Structures are given as C-alpha cells and as structure tokens.
C-alpha cells in the first residue's frame, strides 16, 4: 500500500490481525504525555492518531509551564 502522508520518526506496519500499528523510532519518556505506539483499524484512522501526537507535541507541557512561571 502506498501512503501519501509522511510521519518522520514513526515506523508503520500492518497488524497481524488487521489494522495498522505505528511505533516511534526514538521512544519518548513516561510522563511526557506522548505515545510510543499508536494503532488504527484503517490507514486514515492511524493518520488521525499520529496527527494527534503531532498536535500534543506542539503544546507546552502544563508541568513545564508552571515550573517556568515560578
């Protein structure tokens, strides 16, 4: 299957039981608010989940914002 979107830093595989799995090539730490693995029943659903990760990454962390304000 050819995909039209690119998500650098993610490896996308077809799931053995169907659907698609994406995992980060460089893991993020626990507590970061980000995921290391995302799944979707269809490729468009997986793309939406990966786009959510991109939006989360662009938002400042509430912990960091509170610490920087102090």
Q: How far is CA 46 from the centre of its chain?
A: 9
User: Residue 5 has what pLDDT?
Assistant: 78
Strand order in the sheet with 37-40: 10-14, 20-24, 37-40
Note if the pTM is more than 0.85. Answer: no
First vs last C-alpha separation in the chain: 50
Intervals of the chain under pLDDT 50: 1-3, 70
pLDDT of residue 22: 97
Q: What is the pLDDT of residue 69?
A: 52
CA pair distance 23, 27, nearest whole angstrom: 8
**pLDDT at site 20:** 97
* 58 token code pair: 């662009």
Alpha-carbon distance of 46 to 52, in angstroms, equals 10
What secondary structure letter does DSSP report for 29?
Answer: P
């Amino acid at each position: 299957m050819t995909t039209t979107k690119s998500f650098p830093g993610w490896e996308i595989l077809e799931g053995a039981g169907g659907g698609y799995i994406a995992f980060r090539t460089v893991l993020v730490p626990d507590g970061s608010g980000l995921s290391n693995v995302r799944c979707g029943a269809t490729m468009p659903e997986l793309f939406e989940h990966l786009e959510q990760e991109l939006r989360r990454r662009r938002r400042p962390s509430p912990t960091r914002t509170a610490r920087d304000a102090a």
